[in-house]
Structure 1
């Protein structure tokens, strides 16, 4: 299944993508694509629906973030060896964990707003993992049983905020619009191997990132198991699993986003995003 949330920002409705590609309305069937709706039993009920009986959503309707009411937005840094190398950092001996503020979350095609006083806003295409069952101390062998599905994430970063001054990563990752998610949450039954997905990102038609999840240092199962040792994971929590090489920071010389540019990115089977860049204005 491909689950979506559509409508005005802050007023999104739940939806599902029918086989013909149209979005069908789930209003009145589930309250949102969030929380308990992502549990295995609830997903099984959605899978049994006759989508032809559901109202169609008008083409061109805005897509919101594909998961609502996200409790934790967890991120893994330096999880591709070649990205660590281009960043001038060593491959970590265990996953590097940080968080993004949930207020950074936006729709997949909403605009990117460069923060006030930013000079180094960067891009990162990443595989998002959406939790579907409460997870505590789960084994790596069982970890994927706790996953509801997957999505595309652009883990936008302001590198000066992240790495200079006091260097706290969360500051460089949490600006409004820095967490586009979607267009769809693709349930795990449609993603037989999350470690074999092509991924890419372009700015103004120039392809900077062209990688695959197969080159992750720590795979999805390991990450879910690892994180569950330090905190419980709840349905609707999201893990952003790291980016392949080709970020702006790694260019020689570095290249960063400017107002007016267009960013496009996607992951095999999980859809694409398109974002126009603008400068912050009060």
Structure 2
């Protein structure tokens, strides 16, 4: 095959205990999937069905590290989330089929240019520039858990050693397998898809020079520093 110019390298994420890499196909995120976070963002955790938005695969920053502060924002926010990577897919999946499609788990950051997102909401415009910008998805290594997504486990984020977000996966409004099944009613899932499953309460600003550490019982830790 002849290309007009060399294609960009595919995004990939390390796998804990392996030299192999997990190739990233697409990134999907579910919004407001913890009750307390839904409330702090003005949602209704008792009635709201899951809703989704996307990030480009090249928003992935494997294993974090030092990052430049993003362009065009004065209000960058952190959102720590458990990410699941799929080993198979399909459309119209049952909850059982969706759970069986999981390859493993990683901890990730859904970084958000909150000022751009808020302005888009105010004007009833798409969120893309608030969510889908360059390096907006730092992610740690995947820990394999084939066919068995976790249903509980602590998740937290510290900034400069201070806890900012803390929760447990059992508090997800839509558990992981249910979330995947719901998403499969809208798009056909496939191996390599990465799904961020929601953030607990406590989202807030990140300043230049901040050191972020994301932890989850189900996955290796992730550290990011904004230069």
TM-score for the superposition, normalised by structure 1: 0.70
Distance 2:16 2:98 in 1: 27
Distance 1:13 1:85 in 2: 34
CA contact (8 A) 2:143 2:220 kept: no
Q: 1:207 maps to which residue?
A: 163
1:89 partnered with 2:89: no
CA contact (8 A) 1:150 1:187 kept: yes
Using CA pairs under 8 Å that are at least 6 residues apart, name the structure with larger relative contact order, 1 or 2: 2
CA contact (8 A) 2:89 2:98 kept: no
Q: 1:262 maps to which residue?
A: 211
1:125 partnered with 2:75: no
The number of residue pairs the alignment matches comes to: 216
1:89-118: CA deviation from partner (whole Å, max 9, x where unpaired): 222521011111222111222223322231
TM superposition shift of 1:193: 5.5
* Equivalent position to 1:176, from 130, 134, 138: 134
Distance 1:193 1:13 in 2: 20
TM-score for the superposition, normalised by structure 2: 0.86
Q: Which has the larger radius of gyration?
A: 1
* Equivalent position to 1:197, from 135, 153, 163: 153
Q: Please list every run of 5 or more consecutive structure 1 residues that lacks an aligned counterpart in the other structure.
A: 1-9, 19-23, 27-32, 34-66, 249-255
Distance 2:13 2:38 in 1: 37
Q: 1:218 maps to which residue?
A: 174
Q: Please list every run of 5 or more consecutive structure 2 residues that lacks an aligned counterpart in the other structure.
A: 1-8
Distance 1:201 1:121 in 2: 15
Q: 1:188 maps to which residue?
A: 145
1:11-53: CA deviation from partner (whole Å, max 9, x where unpaired): 99986544xxxxx545xxxxxx3xxxxxxxxxxxxxxxxxxxx
Runs of 4+ in structure 1 displaced over 3 angstroms? 10-18
